[in-house]
């Protein structure tokens, strides 16, 4: 009886210890709210970092909030509803040019190519960008990276975005695929999973990658208010370390393995579809090996903004980009 009682007490003690230890570990985590521009497989390294527990390893309890638009992400971070922004870096330039004292500073670049695709109503094995002349294309918001990169590609192929075709920018982000499926437009520019979903429905066919057509472009990056970065450098470093672990994973694993890991983030999407999308992004060299936002990439971004008429003068790289955290994480 004494032995049984001893075992029971030992078991209770062990369970209590485990519970207490777990509570202690959780209590040491720092709550960080991340506002993302959209929830897309395009951002796979970040979701790998979440699902593999890399943020928790770095002492961060991450709350991920999807804002559905860079303007909403910017507002959330400036108003301090969120700590870190994930969006196209053009928004940080817009904020800086409004003479904001506490502007946003980019500290980690995630993607190095555009993540959207040109979708047609019929298969076009020999698609040429000049095929868009005289046609209607469902595009993106004026001043946003998707639309500016699209116009950048058109100009590279000698097409005038204002005169040679009609670009419909009246449809909300995230609703273009439904509008296209309903009969609107001849072509549509879509992110994943919308592009593949249209194919699976038989409502559209991917005919070109804007990521391949535009070349290497700093499409999305992480940023935070200058004051937050100055007050919490350890949080920014830990956050960047976790992201780098996610980046390392996608660069050393197959699309199938990546798809398996991030599937919980896209519960409504079939694993086969997730794998197809990851392969598309994987094959076009979407993700960098590290998170360092290079100066030449920032210059290219400003060139695109200037060409789109969204920027009057260049912003100093040193003001809006810091390499410190990404360089430390890459070591």
Whole-number Cα distances in Å, 32 to 27, 232, 235, 325: 13, 11, 8, 17
Tell me whether strands 104-111 and 136-138 are parallel, antiparallel or unpaired: unpaired
Q: Which residues pair with 163 in a beta bridge?
A: none
Domain extent for 226: 28-113+217-330
pLDDT higher than 60, residue 8 = no
User: Are residues 121 and 209 located together in one domain of the fold?
Assistant: yes
pLDDT higher than 80, residue 213 = yes
User: Are residues 252 and 283 located together in one domain of the fold?
Assistant: yes
User: Are residues 201 and 223 located together in one domain of the fold?
Assistant: no
Confidence of residue 83 (pLDDT cuts 50, 70, 90): very high
Residue 18 within a domain: no
pLDDT higher than 50, residue 303 = yes
Q: What is the pLDDT of residue 279?
A: 95
Domain end (from 186, 214, 242) = 214
- The tens digit of pLDDT for each residue in 101-154 reads 999 999 999 999 999 999 999 999 999 999 999 999 999 888 788 899 999 999
Residue 88 within a domain: yes
Q: Residues 239-252: what's their mean pLDDT?
A: 98
Q: Cis ω on the peptide bond leading into residue 193 (within 30° of 0)? A: yes
pLDDT higher than 70, residue 21 = no
Q: Residues 287-309: what's their mean pLDDT?
A: 93
Q: What is the pLDDT of residue 143?
A: 78
Domain end (from 214, 232, 259) = 214
pLDDT higher than 80, residue 27 = no
Q: Residues 207-216: what's their mean pLDDT?
A: 93
pTM for the full predicted model = 0.85
- The tens digit of pLDDT for each residue in 218-233 reads 999 999 999 999 999 9
pLDDT higher than 80, residue 22 = no
User: Are residues 228 and 258 located together in one domain of the fold?
Assistant: yes
pLDDT higher than 90, residue 172 = no
User: Are residues 221 and 326 located together in one domain of the fold?
Assistant: yes
Domain end (from 214, 249, 284) = 214
Confidence of residue 193 (pLDDT cuts 50, 70, 90): confident
Strands of 136-138's sheet, edge to edge? 166-168, 136-138, 187-190, 117-120, 205-209
pLDDT higher than 90, residue 192 = no
How far apart CA 290 and CA 228 sit, in angstroms, is 23
């Amino acid at each position: 009886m004494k032995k049984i009682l001893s075992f029971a007490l030992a078991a209770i003690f062990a369970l209590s210890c485990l519970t207490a230890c777990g509570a202690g570990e959780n209590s040491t985590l720092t709550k960080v709210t991340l506002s993302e521009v959209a929830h897309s497989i395009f951002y796979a390294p970040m979701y790998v970092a979440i699902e593999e527990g890399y943020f928790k390893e770095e002492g961060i309890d991450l709350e991920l909030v999807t804002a559905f638009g860079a303007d909403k992400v910017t507002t959330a971070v400036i108003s301090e509803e969120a700590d870190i922004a994930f969006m196209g870096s053009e928004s940080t330039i817009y904020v800086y040019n409004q003479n904001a004292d506490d502007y946003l500073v980019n500290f980690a670049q995630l993607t190095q190519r555009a993540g959207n695709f040109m979708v047609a109503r019929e298969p076009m094995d020999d698609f040429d960008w000049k095929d868009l002349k005289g046609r209607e294309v469902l595009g993106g918001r004026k001043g946003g990276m998707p639309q500016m990169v699209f116009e950048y590609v058109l100009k590279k192929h000698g097409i005038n975005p204002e005169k040679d075709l009609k670009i419909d920018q009246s449809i909300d982000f995230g609703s273009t695929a439904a509008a296209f499926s309903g009969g609107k437009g001849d072509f549509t520019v879509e992110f994943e999973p919308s592009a593949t979903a249209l194919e699976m429905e038989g409502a559209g066919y991917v005919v070109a990658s804007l990521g391949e057509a535009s070349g290497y472009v700093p499409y999305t990056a992480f940023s935070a208010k200058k004051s937050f970065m100055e007050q919490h450098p350890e949080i920014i470093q830990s956050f960047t370390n976790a992201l780098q672990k996610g980046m390392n994973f996608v660069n050393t694993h197959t699309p199938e393995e990546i798809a398996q890991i991030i599937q919980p983030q896209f519960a409504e999407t079939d694993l086969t579809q997730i794998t197809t999308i990851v392969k598309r992004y994987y094959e076009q060299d979407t993700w960098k090996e590290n998170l360092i936002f290079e100066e030449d990439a920032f210059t290219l971004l400003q060139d695109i903004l200037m060409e789109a008429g969204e920027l009057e003068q260049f912003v100093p790289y040193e003001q809006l980009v810091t390499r410190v955290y990404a360089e430390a994480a890459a070591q």
